[in-house]
Amino acid sequence: MKIIMLGAPGAGKGTQAKMIAEKYSVPHISTGDIFRANIKNGTQLGMEAKKYMDQGLLVPDELTVKILLDRVAKEDCAGGYVLDGFPRTIPQAQVLDNALKELDDQIDFAINVDVPDENIVRRMGGRRACLSCGATYHIEHIPSKKEGVCDACGKELVLRDDDKPETVKNRLDVYHQQTQPLIDFYEKKGILRTVDGTVDMKDVFAAITAILD
């Protein structure tokens, strides 16, 4: 089962992707995680990606495509995978389609987690991250035990630059221009399924599993 998660930044598709991966025992592949690992390790790729991410811009295709195709070729992806954060544009989707066709393969479902912009700005403004261990929290929904301190490693929690309201609005503008056309792309292919992302995350997950099962 090969699944693509769609939805605006902050729609909760990453959380759902992890839950899908756990339930169906397939890898959760997040380009965001790959980029953050490179940024944390100070690699050239990471520093280049950070320049774009800090401005709320999408990382260019050439920094993304090779990493992803290499990842899905690994043995643990033989039974399927959940892609989170890729593709973001029609050209990326076409590159992925062509690469999979060469392997006599294809994506089974594109799941769109639908959330209005105003909900997302409010949601992301409450996120807090530990830059030391990578743990994430939310001041309303998943608060740390001690305010501003990571439960896992005790380091300070911060509001990342890409979660600040002005950056989120910029990211949403970019999303509507570049990424939302993917919804039409996968709808034409007949594999798009849309779920309401404004309800409780367990209800979102129930709607997704009803589609996959």
Q: What is the pLDDT of residues 9-56, one digit of tens each?
A: 889 898 999 999 999 999 999 887 777 877 888 888 888 888 888 888
Q: Provide the whole-model pTM.
A: 0.75
SS3 of 130-172: the string is ECCCCCEEECCCECCCCCCECCCCCCEEECCHHHCHHHHHHHH
- Whether 169 is a known active-site residue: answer no
Catalytic residue among 2, 88, 123, 128: 88
Q: Do the Cβ atoms of 28 and 82 come closer than 8 Å?
A: yes
| Helix orientation angle between 90-102 and 61-72, rounded to the nearest 10 degrees | 30
145 domain residue, yes or no? no
pLDDT level of residue 70 (50, 70, 90 thresholds): low
- Whether 128 is a known active-site residue: answer no
8 domain residue, yes or no? yes
Q: What is the pLDDT of residues 86-145, one digit of tens each?
A: 898 898 898 888 888 887 889 999 999 999 999 999 888 999 999 999 899 999 889 999
32 domain residue, yes or no? yes
Residue 107, domain extent: 2-115+167-212
100 domain residue, yes or no? yes
Mention every residue, 6+ apart, whose C-beta is less than 8 A from residue 187: none
What does the pLDDT average to over 190-196? 97
Catalytic residue among 2, 36, 50, 171: 171
What does the pLDDT average to over 151-170? 92
Cis ω before 143 (30° cut-off from 0): no
Which residue did the predictor score with more confidence, 102 or 210? 210
- Whether 123 is a known active-site residue: answer no
162 domain residue, yes or no? no
pLDDT of residue 141: 84
- Say how many domains are in the chain: 1
132 domain residue, yes or no? no
Q: What is the DSSP letter of 85?
A: S
45 domain residue, yes or no? yes
128 domain residue, yes or no? no
CATH code of the domain containing 10: 3.40.50.300
List the beta bridge partners of residue 158: 129
Q: What is the pLDDT of residues 164-190, one digit of tens each?
A: 989 999 989 988 988 889 999 999 999
- Whether 88 is a known active-site residue: answer yes
Tokens of 90: 């029609």
pLDDT of residue 46: 83
- Whether 193 is a known active-site residue: answer no
pLDDT at 200 over 80: yes
